[in-house]
Structure 1
Amino acid sequence: MKTPDNLLYNKTHEWADIDGDIAVVGITDFAQELLGDITFVELPGVGDTVAAGAEMGSIESVKAASELYAPVSGEVIAVNSALEDSPEKVNESPYEEGWLIKVRISSEPGNLLSATEYAELAASEEH
């Protein structure tokens, strides 16, 4: 399981790569492994607002459907449109090509975990 040190994580298995007031958001390697082959991703649109900890969409796989939760609050400024035709990019590259949305952050992110804290959480959920 990959857990890049430069990202922040929420307990519902989404990550945020924060640079200034912009966050790129996706799901973790651990989450995509649990889901299996991803078949569909439903995301908010550009201009929508998301709230940290609130539902922002859903993701479906051959095994299950799961809600997606925003790790940060703000306005959606980009959506990974490549996922419409190729949702498997989330499986293949969850931290690069499989990103979900970009958000202009409206408030300080809170309650996000470091890579070490998230790895401990994921390890506890594996058993």
Structure 2
Amino acid sequence: MISAGGVPIPADAADVHYVTKNGSAQVSFLSKQMPDYLHRAGLLPEGASLFDKKYSSAYGLAQDDGELPEGLCGPALKGPAWSYYRTGPGGGVDILVERSPFGFDTFRAPARVIATFDIR
């Protein structure tokens, strides 16, 4: 099982790709279980809105623009996207999630995710 920042990726994760370099890892996957994953990873408290700007922020990708970090293979993450970040004793975790282009209060289903985290 792959863990991103110490938290196993969702059980329904598909199309998983990863790369490691310079003490960090990036994992890309598709999932319909992102709200649960964000709560388990400690990135979003229970009861908080998925898009609460206290815990997350918009990521600079226009609708249907794509981004794939250097060295990571597989399909690109498509905009619009949302970013979640956490620092802690185990290092930082940064999660980018595809937001729905139609309903701005939800993710794509399934959503492509890129998780970046320290592995030192």
TM-score, scaled to structure 2? 0.33
More strand, by proportion: 2
More helix, by proportion: 1
TM-score, scaled to structure 1? 0.32
